Amino acid sequence: MRPDHEALIVVDIQNDFCPGGALAVAGGDQIVPGVNALMDRFANVVLTQDWHPADHSSFADMHAGAQPFTTVDMPYGTQTLWPRHCVQGTAGAAFHPGLRTDPAQLVIRKGFRSAIDSYSALFENDRTTPTGLEGYLRGRGITHLTMVGLATDFCVAFSALDAAAKGFQVTVRLGECRAIDLGGSLASQIAAMRAAGVTLAD
Ligand code: VGL
Ligand code: ZN
């Protein structure tokens, strides 16, 4: 068992990010058994859940004439537009049915404000509005994070980069992640994580 100052952060393993879902990540479901097994090795487990209102501004269909996977300028910066996904209370927003949820002490929901997206588990996409996760982790004396989940190059990478910037020791287990890879995003985010001192493991 890993020591009490370590936590496993399981990012967005939800139906809409798995094959058949609205924003399916190739092989997203393949990581479920490995992530489930990892939970037994950590005393502290946190799940994150992408949790959007029906009128969320990251949905392409909220912008007249816009196509998914294009970008728009928002007050907080450039935002990629996505197919409608992880709408609060829908089956698509539920965790993959095979994912263990009982070992988690905390489920943190993010992206619940219409006007702003939140890839990172720590900060919304303005990179300053906290989700509360940093305070939770610090309050519990957790300093070392292992991250797994979906998608490598969006929510996992943003979470890892924010956590590293806040002084956490971060490991991303790439074997238990799958990527969207939009316009080279996987390579650029891998490079960014490496440059930020995130440990990239198999
Ligand atoms: C994610 C795009 C939109 C993710 C969430 O979990 O990586 N990506 N919302
Ligand atoms: Zn989302």
pLDDT tens figures, 61-88: 999 999 999 999 999 999 999 999 999 9
Give the β-pairing of 6-11 and 144-150: parallel
pLDDT value of position 100? 98
Bridge partners of 200, per DSSP, are 172
- Which residues, other chains included, contact 99 with Cβ-Cβ below 8 Å and sequence gap of 6+? 10, 13, 32, 35, 36, 47
Q: Which atom of ligand 1 is nearest to the CA of 17?
A: 6
Query: Where does ligand 1 bind, in terms of residues with CB under 6 Å?
Result: 12, 17, 50, 82, 119, 150-151, 154-155
Bridge partners of 7, per DSSP, are 145
From CA 10, how far away is CA 148, in angstroms rounded? Answer: 5
pLDDT tens figures, 100-137: 999 999 999 999 999 999 999 999 999 999 999 999 99
Q: Are 189 and 153 in contact (CB under 8 A)?
A: yes
pLDDT value of position 30? 98
pTM: 0.98
Closest ligand relative to 180 C-alpha: 1
Please, what is the average pLDDT of the chain? 98
Closest ligand relative to 81 C-alpha: 1
